[in-house]
Structure 1
Amino acid sequence: MELVTRDFFLFLSKNNVMNRMAKNWGIGFVRGKMIGGNNFNESLVYIKKLNDQGMTATVDHLGEFVGSSEVARERAEEVIHTIETIARENVNAQVSLKMTSLGLDIDEKLVRENMTRILETAEKHQIMVTIDMEDEARCQKTLDIFKEFRLRYSNVSTVIQAYLYRSESDLDELNPLRPFLRLVKGAYKESPKVAFPDKSDVDQNYKTLIRKQLLSGNYTAIATHDDHMIAYAKQLAKDNQIPASQFEFQMLYGMRNATQQALVKDGYNVRVYVPYGDDWYGYFMRRLAERPANIAFAFKGMTKK
């Protein structure tokens, strides 16, 4: 049943008709509940509230698979504007972005030009930029770009997905760079040739990645809503005397609010992923596909006052 639910929402995430309809509807019923707003300035009020509650944020201008060099450069300008606004407004936030939004499917030279401009701005303001991981077909290119820029810049991180067979070896290969990594389970539909088809195997691999990354001494973002994974990470840190300053839990805006606040109360770092922009539909469907419990979390978040 879980596999059917996942496939259903992944199918919906790629439905162009539904995506166009969602844009036409606007984001009124998810703004401030699941999405920050149409633009970053609209999202600032929600980020400041998170900061007031002891949480930090990472923000993402939604949209991927850009097919035009002009649009890719516009996306880069948006990221630069966001970084500069974070610095000017003095909010505790970082930035996440996708390589396909900067032109990965067009020209890798274009991506490198856009990333250089972004990371020059990020270094100036000491704001972390996380390169989100996309589907497996783009994984190697994304990691190659990350490794290249990690040698030149300190404020760049990336994401490792537990459902891919390759992820443990990727973690080992990245370790010499002393990377800040976000660990996730994964949200794209992949072939059994490259990804674990069974949830139990994904969960076990996720624990393996968490353990390796935490014990390496590298800063770790554990992005999960799964109570069992949260408990596992907390116990692992306790057993190995890993300080809370070495890792953080990451959750999606509008989901598990009480859990986020409880973790902060217990002394853990919590970062909330706050997306913004009108291209929200695909993001929302993939979040529902990740695990059935997210459907309940999303409904609760969308109906809160």
Structure 2
Amino acid sequence: MMHVILRNFFLFLSKNQILNRGARKWGLKLGASQVVAGETISKAMNAVRGLNEKGLVCTVDHLGEFVKTEEEAAVSTEYCIRTLNAIAKTGVNCNLSLKLTQLGLDVEPQLCYENMKAILSTAKKHDIFVRIDMEDYSHCQQTIDILEKLRREYDGLVGTAIQAYLYRAIDDVKKLKGVNLRLVKGAYRELPEVAFQKKDEIDDNYLKIIKQHLRSGSYTAVATHDHQIIEKVKDFCREEKIAKTQFEFQMLYGFRTDLQEQIAKEGYTMRIYVPYGKDWYGYFMRRLAERPQNVSFALRGFFSK
């Protein structure tokens, strides 16, 4: 019960724009530095280089939320393009992740689509894969619609994420056969009308969509810190004779680092989601919501300054 209360509390805080502005003044002193690579592209590239040296591949995400104007969307788009250029210049093994709301989805969907095309044009030049993060349920169909339009020109270069706690997840996975998908449990607070609420139901559906996508021959990114799920995926792939080249595991920067390295040493692709940027507050609150015990991160970070 307390876990649910804390989860809802941190999800509520994640959407508070006043606290978001205030958090920027503190920089990353509230403990977020343990799960955010820094505020600049150069710091993100340094973090990626260090992870590559440990046998881990990466995807970077320039954090940004509450984009409400065309000008703000343009700034986020430019940051994504600069990040792609930095990946190419430094030669690190890294993809790009982004959110469509950063690029103006809430301003005008067509604006967002044009911004995505500009990003993918640069990604195509450098042969870098771009992942569209899935956001809350209200943006789900819009995200998939834009993805389908982008695939007409950039198929194989762009994918998205599907959240297992949504009832619609299995149908979305079936429709997106052949697309490189990141499969996750889900990190937003959703209503019972659209999403499973119980952990065992979410876990069951998570394994269901993972197996569905793998059986279809589609490349699958299994993004979880749940070691039990990870072992079940390994067992399933061995039983079904699914090659290690058809899937990868993904984890967040700063979490379960020993397990990350262990999985890589076993010969699996282990990709680390590396967030960076000044607009880290919403991301950090959602990580606390997922695992309220991570509040200790914040307390240690705060009192060590």
> TM-score of the superposition, structure 2-length normalised?
0.94
Aligned residue number for residue 250 of structure 1: 250
Aligned residue number for residue 136 of structure 2: 135
Equivalent pair of 2:31/2:297 in contact (CA under 8 Å): no
Pair 1:279 & 2:287 matched: no
Instruction: Provide, for residues 44-81 of structure 1, a one-character-per-residue CA deviation record: whole Å limited to 9, x for no partner.
Output: 11110000000011111111231110110111111011
Distance apart, 1:230 and its partner CA: 0.6
Q: Secondary structure at the match of 2:153?
A: coil
Aligned residue number for residue 8 of structure 2: 7
Distance, in Å, in 2 between the alignment partners of 1:293 and 1:220 is 29
Equivalent pair of 2:174/2:213 in contact (CA under 8 Å): no
Aligned residue number for residue 168 of structure 2: 166
Aligned residue number for residue 91 of structure 1: 92
Equivalent pair of 2:32/2:284 in contact (CA under 8 Å): no
Q: Secondary structure at the match of 1:193?
A: coil
Percent identity, aligned pairs only, is 49
Aligned residue number for residue 104 of structure 1: 105
Equivalent pair of 1:65/1:103 in contact (CA under 8 Å): no
Equivalent pair of 1:256/1:297 in contact (CA under 8 Å): no
Equivalent pair of 1:179/1:219 in contact (CA under 8 Å): yes
Distance, in Å, in 1 between the alignment partners of 2:292 and 2:49 is 30
Distance, in Å, in 2 between the alignment partners of 1:216 and 1:39 is 39
Distance apart, 1:166 and its partner CA: 0.5
- The letter for the 1-side match of 2:152 is L
Distance, in Å, in 2 between the alignment partners of 1:48 and 1:302 is 27
Instruction: Provide, for residues 184-211 of structure 1, a one-character-per-residue CA deviation record: whole Å limited to 9, x for no partner.
Output: 0111111110111111111110010111
Aligned residue number for residue 73 of structure 2: 72
Distance, in Å, in 2 between the alignment partners of 1:180 and 1:168 is 15
- The letter for the 2-side match of 1:271 is R
Change (3 A) 1:18 1:143: same
Question: 5 Å matches for 1:214-233?
Answer: 214-233=214-233
Distance, in Å, in 1 between the alignment partners of 2:129 and 2:226 is 25
Equivalent pair of 1:186/1:290 in contact (CA under 8 Å): no
- The letter for the 2-side match of 1:187 is A
Q: Give 4+ residue runs of structure 1 displaced > 3 Å after superposition.
A: 28-32, 291-304
- The letter for the 2-side match of 1:8 is F
Greater shift after overlay, 204-213 or 26-35?
A: 26-35
- The letter for the 1-side match of 2:125 is K
Question: 5 Å matches for 1:251-270?
Answer: 251-270=251-270
Distance apart, 1:265 and its partner CA: 1.1
> TM-score of the superposition, structure 1-length normalised?
0.94
Distance apart, 1:259 and its partner CA: 0.3
Q: Secondary structure at the match of 1:151?
A: helix
Distance, in Å, in 2 between the alignment partners of 1:272 and 1:203 is 21
Question: 5 Å matches for 1:44-59?
Answer: 44-59=45-60
- Structure 1 unaligned segments of length 5 or more: list them: none
- The letter for the 1-side match of 2:21 is R
- The letter for the 2-side match of 1:76 is T
Change (3 A) 1:46 1:102: same
Equivalent pair of 2:253/2:272 in contact (CA under 8 Å): yes
Equivalent pair of 2:30/2:299 in contact (CA under 8 Å): no
Distance, in Å, in 2 between the alignment partners of 1:11 and 1:250 is 26
Equivalent pair of 1:34/1:301 in contact (CA under 8 Å): no
- The letter for the 1-side match of 2:137 is E
Distance apart, 1:25 and its partner CA: 0.5
Distance apart, 1:32 and its partner CA: 5.4
Taking only aligned residues, the RMSD between alpha carbons, in angstroms, comes to 2.0
- The letter for the 1-side match of 2:164 is A
Q: May I ask how many residue pairs the two structures share in their alignment? A: 302
- The letter for the 2-side match of 1:146 is L
Distance, in Å, in 2 between the alignment partners of 1:59 and 1:118 is 14
Change (3 A) 1:268 1:15: same
Change (3 A) 1:11 1:220: same
Pair 1:42 & 2:51 matched: no
Distance, in Å, in 1 between the alignment partners of 2:123 and 2:204 is 35
Q: Secondary structure at the match of 2:98?
A: strand
